[in-house]
Amino acid sequence: MSGSGNVCWRTVLAVLRPGCQSGRIGKDERNWAHLKNILIVDDSPAVRRSLRALLGRRDDWEVCGEAENGREGIDKALQLHPDLVLLDLSMPVMNGFQAARELQRLLPRVPILMFTNFSNAQIEREAFAAGVTAVKSKSESVDSLFGSIQSLLTMA
């Protein structure tokens, strides 16, 4: 009986939280409403893979999708309605600044964390002007990245 209940519960969850693709909802399935969806937008498959693995360590976060450029990131964000967008700066087709401007216009309540190799005061000013909520360098620690993500998800 509990097995069929789990299947039904996951089906309901998939309908209510369409961004979740893996079906993983954490250790406590009753806590699904607190699961936060994160969209990763980065042109490097290795970075996306690493971020997915690191973020997957948290039971309250779900990587709902990935995109390899800003244009694809906007399309996925509109489709998946993430709770946070983790956005690279330097990408083909549409860079992070351009994508952030469009995301801010289309999904103004979704925080954007720019995660980039290029971090300095000028980049940060431009990022904030484009609608980015926070900027993190890829050279910073995982704990620092997680702290920023947690703060942004708590504010959202």
- Sequential DSSP letters for 79-142: HH--SEEEE-SS-SSS-HHHHHHHHHHH-TTS-EEEEES--SHHHHHHHHHHT-SEEEETTS-H
**pTM score:** 0.79
Number of domains comprising the chain: 1
Domain that holds residue 52: 2-155
pLDDT at 20 over 60: no
Model confidence at 120, in pLDDT bands (50, 70, 90)? confident
User: Mean pLDDT across the stretch 80-89?
Assistant: 96
Phi first, then psi: what are they for 49, rounded to 5°?
-60, -45
CATH number at residue 87: 3.40.50.2300
Phi first, then psi: what are they for 40, rounded to 5°?
-100, 125
User: Mean pLDDT across the stretch 75-79?
Assistant: 97
User: Mean pLDDT across the stretch 134-140?
Assistant: 93
% of residues, the chain, pLDDT over 90: 71
Pick from 113, 47, 103: nearest CA to 70: 103
pLDDT at 87 over 50: yes
User: Mean pLDDT across the stretch 11-20?
Assistant: 37
CB 71 within 8 A of CB 96: no
pLDDT at 69 over 90: yes
At 35, list the tokens: 């699961």
| pLDDT value, residue 33 | 55
